[in-house]
Structure 1
Amino acid sequence: MVLNMGPQHPSTHGVLRLVLEVDGETVISLAPDIGYLHTGIEKTAEAKFYSQVTPLTDRIDYICPMTNNTAYALAVEKLLGLEIPERSQYLRVLLNELTRIQSHLVWLGTHAMDIGALTVFLYCFREREDLLRIFEAISGQRMMSSYIRIGGVALEPPADIYDRIRKFLNAFPKHIEEYEGLLNANPIWMGRLKGVGVLSGEEAIALGVTGPPLRASGIDWDVRRDMPYSGYDKFKFNVPTSKDGDVWARYIVRMQEMRESVSICHQALDLLANLRDTRLNADAPKIVLPDREQMKTQMESLIHHFKIVTEGFQVPAGEATSSVEAPHGMMNYYVVSDGTAKPYRVHMRNADFANLQALETMCKGRLIADVVAVIGSIDIVLGAIDR
């Protein structure tokens, strides 16, 4: 029998349609059908000035907008040859790791709810709300922040924000223990996750899987450590892995990643506190708005900035790529410039799209109910797939 599963948000984590061929309750084959959330963002970017593309990147993987901003900014900054101040780099790291925690909280809450653990969902979104309020204080927006910009960041952070972040980080490890206390010894949770959706390391590599699903299959690869960007080479952290390759392993890896993100955030706060250079943006008045002190003495730069707001700034012809470790896996941006004020091409390679193609391998021979658990374990966002 051929069954349609989705497209609806519960269980399929977005407007994903799965065409299942089943023999009774057993999955014989599975074909993902995508495109129901198609936005055309990549094509839209070709009609925008470089700076106008940043708000579009928020809406790719809308659970981790800060990471999308960073990936795009890094690619354009390569084309422009910009040197980003250390303070801005460490602030980017701090916000990217808080975004990772926030994304993993959405994953854990919705994944647990798929299995029937409603309380965990409420707890996770309680902590996520604290993070969204921090993002709102920094950028003015809870989700679509557009805070990380080409050349640095948009605004000076509020004076008390680092204390608020430190307070959250100090309390959060106990919340992780609280989640694990509800789940780790729960026989239903263990029964639905252990031994389900197994993906070997060889299969993961062959299918282009990255992020937690890859590391849960025994492949020790993390862009932050192996291809460092934004000063990640100055941070000490562990990369959690597992050799089991099942839904349970992907759960354990992400829980450990949240703990490592807390450690990285503490290091970022310490580095920010000890910096003498207070610059947030690159010294490039033709591209980045000068700070207030510069505005007083560099009126010509300010006038030029108003010009580029309406006409855009030209980028030297060429092409550049960037790679970052997003919460869902490796995120790549490919930007092509033809020497004008608008990109000739902007392409995003999101982990969600690649990881989804591993779904059939993980689900074949399993029960229909296991498909729900496996989808939750790869943590997809359809905005990143239907871009």
Structure 2
Amino acid sequence: MKSFDPGTVSQQELVLNLGPQHPSTHGVFRMVLDLQGETIVRVTPHMGYLHRGFEKLAERRTAVQYQPYPDRWDYLAAMFDEMAYIGAGEALLEIEVPRRAHVLRGIVMELNRLASHLLWLGTFLLDVGALSPFLYTFREREMILDLLMELTGARLTYAYFRFGGLHHDAEDLWLKKVRAGIPYFRHRVREYRQLLDENEIFRRRVQGIGVIDGDMALRYGLSGPMLRASGVGWDIRSHRPYGIYSDVPVPVKTHNAGDTWARYVVRMDEMETSLDLLDIFLEMIEEGPILSKVPHTVKFPAKETYFSVEGPRGELGVYLVGNGTAYAHRLKIRPPSLFNLQVLSHLLIGHMVSDAVAILGSVDIVLGEVDR
């Protein structure tokens, strides 16, 4: 038998394309990985496949005509897109929103946050090899989508928010259904944690990989669960409150590990917080109007504003400049997934190819808001 000669082993790097059609990229996103064996030594992300020109469209549509477009930014959490755009417009127009509309906005946003996190949890666990939880989380998410569809008529793109309030009111029966569903969802979230928190296979798969510390997270401009999982306790609902969050203290849950496991823990904590907030909002609901008096033709005054919300993926902001007409002079979107995605080139270096999918899944990107 011929003896093995280490000198005959090739040291040439291998270039691996991951995406843009690969299911683990969760959309049309492509990564070029330079490998030495199974180890990642360089990452080149390629974005823009889903660019649709939403910022320029705001200059070609009136303020009212543009209202359905934000739903298509982050199509998994459209209520937050609407809140960001409508909130920026209300700040420019100096519109006072009725209290009932504020509370209903809070209810639908926290429901939407729950639905988004459930989808993330199912697909993330599928990425690391767990099939059954994917089916469970989609079952629960479907119930939330049914509630939102009953209220708005749509499953994903709602067009429910309006300058000064909401398109229409919520019926008492719908509110009772939301209240009745909270104990069920609370039980399910706890059940997921029982299945996963002490699962040795899952913990070994995600602990200690994709680590980013707080200083690095701040330098990259991370926000949301990505930032809080690195030990930085920043949540816009608590530190720069808007709408009904100005009247309700929101606990900020953090984790210091900064790894893939920490991002899982923070999002699970967020789901429990959302259920607590829903309980509070349902107790705060009171009779009253859901829409202020707003001119039929909305014209943005010649000034500027920045308005941001705490979405499921982090800080979603809108910089809006008016010019005295019904058209925006400039609309700039600050998408959290874009900033969170740019840290990949730091997170993946030195890890195995098999870990890349788990790390990317823990970032929770939506390409609609990345590419805009």
Fold shared per TM-score above 0.5: yes
Note the C-alpha offset of 1:183: 1.9
Note the C-alpha offset of 1:179: 1.4
Please name the residue that 1:257 is paired with.
Answer: 270
Note the C-alpha offset of 1:184: 2.1
C-alpha distance in structure 2 between counterparts of 1:22 and 1:130, whole Å: 43
- After TM superposition, where is structure 1 displaced by more than 6 Å over at least 4 residues in a row? none
Bigger mean CA offset, 89-98 vs 182-191: 182-191
Name which of 238, 247, 250 aligns with 2:251. 238
- The structure-2 alpha-carbon separation of the partners of 1:41 and 1:28, relative to structure 1 and needing over 3 Å to count, comes to same
- Per-residue displacement from partner, 1:23-60 (whole Å, max 9, x unpaired)? 11101011110011111111112111101212110000
C-alpha distance in structure 2 between counterparts of 1:19 and 1:339, whole Å: 46
Q: Does 1:349 align with 2:334?
A: yes
Q: Does 1:337 align with 2:347?
A: no
C-alpha distance in structure 1 between counterparts of 2:235 and 2:44, whole Å: 29
How well do the aligned residues superpose, as a CA RMSD in angstroms? 1.1
SS of match in other structure, 1:264: helix
Residues 238, 249 of structure 2: 8 Å contact kept = no
What 5-or-longer segments of structure 1 have no aligned partner?
Answer: 287-304
SS of match in other structure, 1:155: coil
Identity among equivalent positions (%) equals 42
C-alpha distance in structure 2 between counterparts of 1:236 and 1:332, whole Å: 21
Q: What is the one-letter code of the residue matched to 1:222? A: D
Please name the residue that 2:4 is paired with.
Answer: none
Please name the residue that 2:119 is paired with.
Answer: 106
C-alpha distance in structure 2 between counterparts of 1:165 and 1:9, whole Å: 36
C-alpha distance in structure 1 between counterparts of 2:250 and 2:237, whole Å: 10
Please name the residue that 2:218 is paired with.
Answer: 205
Note the C-alpha offset of 1:9: 4.8
Residues 70, 149 of structure 1: 8 Å contact kept = no
Please name the residue that 2:301 is paired with.
Answer: 316
Please name the residue that 1:25 is paired with.
Answer: 38
Note the C-alpha offset of 1:164: 0.6
C-alpha distance in structure 2 between counterparts of 1:222 and 1:177, whole Å: 23
Please name the residue that 2:158 is paired with.
Answer: 145
Please name the residue that 2:366 is paired with.
Answer: 381
C-alpha distance in structure 1 between counterparts of 2:62 and 2:151, whole Å: 24
C-alpha distance in structure 1 between counterparts of 2:84 and 2:250, whole Å: 21
Q: Does 1:192 align with 2:209?
A: no
Q: What is the one-letter code of the residue matched to 1:381? A: V
Note the C-alpha offset of 1:315: 2.1
Q: Does 1:279 align with 2:292?
A: no
Note the C-alpha offset of 1:360: 1.5
Bigger mean CA offset, 132-141 vs 153-162: 153-162
SS of match in other structure, 2:232: coil
Bigger mean CA offset, 63-72 vs 230-239: 230-239
Note the C-alpha offset of 1:147: 0.5
Q: What is the one-letter code of the residue matched to 1:359? A: L
TM-score (norm 2): 0.94
Q: How does 1:21-60 map to 2 (within 5 A)?
A: 21-60=34-73
- Per-residue displacement from partner, 1:58-86 (whole Å, max 9, x unpaired)? 00010000010001111000111101111
C-alpha distance in structure 2 between counterparts of 1:386 and 1:9, whole Å: 17
- Per-residue displacement from partner, 1:168-214 (whole Å, max 9, x unpaired)? 11211110122123222322211110001000001100111100010
Note the C-alpha offset of 1:362: 1.1
Bigger mean CA offset, 148-157 vs 69-78: 148-157
C-alpha distance in structure 1 between counterparts of 2:234 and 2:37, whole Å: 39
SS of match in other structure, 2:301: coil
- Per-residue displacement from partner, 1:267-303 (whole Å, max 9, x unpaired)? 111000xx35x1101133x1xxxxxxxxxxxxxxxxx
C-alpha distance in structure 2 between counterparts of 1:177 and 1:265, whole Å: 17
Please name the residue that 2:190 is paired with.
Answer: 177
Q: What is the one-letter code of the residue matched to 1:244? A: A
C-alpha distance in structure 1 between counterparts of 2:217 and 2:147, whole Å: 35
Q: How does 1:217-236 map to 2 (within 5 A)?
A: 217-236=230-249
Residues 238, 251 of structure 2: 8 Å contact kept = no
C-alpha distance in structure 2 between counterparts of 1:45 and 1:136, whole Å: 26
Bigger mean CA offset, 170-179 vs 320-329: 170-179
SS of match in other structure, 2:306: strand
TM-score (norm 1): 0.91
